[in-house]
Amino acid sequence: MFRNVEELVELCETKNLPVSEIMIRQEMEVHERSYEEIFSQMERNLDVMERAVNRGITEQVKSVSGLTGGDGKKLNEYMQLNETLSGNLILDAVSKAMATNEVNAAMGTICATPTAGAAGVVPGTLFAVKEKLNPSREQMVRYLFVSGAFGFVVANNASISGAAGGCQAEVGSATGMAAAAIVEMAGGTPRQSAQAMAMALKNMLGLVCDPVAGLVEVPCVKRNAFGASNALVAADLALAGIESRIPCDEVIDAMYRIGETMPSTLRETGEGGLAATPTGVRYKEQIFGSGSK
């Protein structure tokens, strides 16, 4: 098993294989399962993601609290009717990322990537890049294996839990995973995938987990939106040949150490940051009653 990004990239280079293939082969070996079984399980995850994206950009979803829902759809409609400033590809990814998280907040069915709170970034970017690159279904499934490979390293060497490492561990990890996967789909090298992951994650370091009223809604939905846009920019930087001065594994390690020193009020307890603002507290009281702790 590859234990870090450097080992993953070296495996790819010595065997002359893409990241997705290394991930699939490792899964076959460790779990003694066939290529077909593994591939079709991932394809089912892709189907779940596609349904969540489509639901979020077409239906007026609404969470139980009423705090979120409908913004993915709103942005999608804005793009149809207006000349956008930041460009359709980025905004398409943003709207699909938000759509997924809005469905999640409404207790709809999603696929965690790597978590539910960060479930928008990977599918959001995937279904937007799809419009540009016209990948085969197989390439779309492979996108998920690349994301999974990089997420696997983060999960084992740092954390993918907001309660343990803050939002940098969730949306931060997802953004890096998506950036790496975009690079492979666009024809970049495994080393460029690692660079994209490093640059994307560097920009997310220190991001706290401060959900208003403890709900996976504010600011989670919009953090996924910006995560998706960051992933695309990081992929382009890597494809341009730009490199991170700090190697990917060291960025992941830095993320872990930052999470360790983050106070618990900023690690998914709903006690600090945006959750502790006057408006954040007011929302909490409206939703759970004024006696709520």
Partner 1 sequence: MKYRSVFDIIGPVMVGPSSSHTAGAARIGLVARQLFQKEPEWAAFHLYGSFAKTYQGHGTDVALVGGILGFDTFDTRMTESFKYAEDKGVSYSFYEEEANLDHPNTVKIRLGAGKEEMELVGISIGGGKVEIKELNGFELRLSGNHPAILVVHDDRYGTIASVSTKLAEYEINIGHMEVSRKEQGKEALMVIEVDQNIDEKTMGELTKLEHVKKVTKIHD
Interface ranges with partner 1 (CB under 8 A): 1, 3, 23, 26-27, 30-32, 38, 41-42, 44-45, 48, 63, 65, 103-117, 119, 122, 144-145, 147-149, 151-152, 155-156, 159-164, 169, 177, 211, 213-217, 264, 267-271, 287-288, 293
Q: Which is nearer to partner 1, 196 or 216 (CB)?
A: 216
In the chain, the amino acid numbered 81 is L
Instruction: Report the nearest approach of partner 1 to the CB of residue 172 (Å).
Output: 13
CA-to-CA separations, 134 to 131, 140, 186, in angstroms, rounded: 6, 10, 10
Q: Which is nearer to partner 1, 123 or 188 (CB)?
A: 123
Q: Which is nearer to partner 1, 18 or 211 (CB)?
A: 211
d(CA 76, CA 86): 14
d(CA 238, CA 196): 5
d(CA 261, CA 255): 10
d(CA 237, CA 169): 22
* Sequence-ordered list of residues with C-beta below 8 angstroms from that of 10, at least 6 positions apart, any chain: none
Q: Which is nearer to partner 1, 52 or 237 (CB)?
A: 52
Q: Which is nearer to partner 1, 25 or 236 (CB)?
A: 25
Instruction: Report the nearest approach of partner 1 to the CB of residue 251 (Å).
Output: 18
Instruction: Report the nearest approach of partner 1 to the CB of residue 244 (Å).
Output: 22
Note whether 22 and 65 are within 8 A (CB). Answer: no
Instruction: Report the nearest approach of partner 1 to the CB of residue 126 (Å).
Output: 11
Instruction: Report the nearest approach of partner 1 to the CB of residue 79 (Å).
Output: 25
Q: Which is nearer to partner 1, 92 or 268 (CB)?
A: 268
Of the candidates 8, 7, 6, the residue with the CA atom closest to the CA atom of residue 24: 8
Instruction: Report the nearest approach of partner 1 to the CB of residue 114 (Å).
Output: 5
In the chain, the amino acid numbered 226 is F
d(CA 132, CA 125): 11
d(CA 57, CA 19): 31
Q: Which is nearer to partner 1, 156 or 189 (CB)?
A: 156
Instruction: Report the nearest approach of partner 1 to the CB of residue 162 (Å).
Output: 7
Of the candidates 214, 216, 228, 209, the residue with the CA atom closest to the CA atom of residue 266: 209
